[in-house]
Amino acid sequence: MYYDGDMPKPWYYDALVSDPPYSFADWDSAKQAIPEATAGVYTIWIEEDLIYVGMSGRDDKKMLEAQKQGMPYGLIQRLKAHQSGRRSGDRFCVYVSDRLVLKTLSEGQIQEITDGKISMDQLTKDFIHTNCNFRFIATQSAQESFSVEDEIKQGSLGQTPLLN
């Protein structure tokens, strides 16, 4: 399904495209809006360009248990990992590092990274905080999140994500 303006918008369109975005640079404020334990879908943007879509909360039983215990689970954990800039175990940060940050580096900066004088993770975090904003929706289940994420990857928001 590819949204082209001639068809009805998907139910999640406004929340993931039109609503005011949250800034990774203002994580302390942004995290207040994210439910503590929920499955959901998020979009990450550089200005008006969709660069990534993701989902979190793959296990409905774990989500329900986290809700009962008042523990973080799902969206909040995933978005926190993305804002950290740490590439280890975070596909979004790896993609940002490899496809967006690396091409901006000078030979001198690359040498400083290999010498351990500057951190690629820190450069990735700086890029994310300077350039990227996000929007999200909570969903009722992991299956609903998978479905919405797949529709967005296929263009349901009018563009396909750059990085996935």
Which domains, ranges and CATH numbers included, belong to the chain?
13-84+131-153 (3.40.1440)
| Cα(46)–Cα(108) distance, integer angstroms | 26
CA distance 30 to 61: 26
Mean pLDDT in residue range 92-107: 97
> What predicted TM-score, i.e. pTM, was given to this entire model?
0.92
The pLDDT value given to residue 15: 97
Helix, strand, coil percent values for the chain (each to nearest 5): 50, 20, 30
Q: Is the CB of residue 42 less than 8 Å from the CB of residue 7? A: no
Backbone angles phi, psi at 26, to 5 degrees: -115, 50
Say what the pLDDT of residue 60 is: 82
| Amino acid (1-letter code) at residue 104 | T
What are 117-157's pLDDT values in tens digits? 999 999 999 999 999 999 999 999 999 999 999 999 999 99
Return the pLDDT at 66: 87
**19-64, pLDDT tens digit by residue?**
999 999 999 999 999 999 999 999 999 999 999 999 998 888 888 8
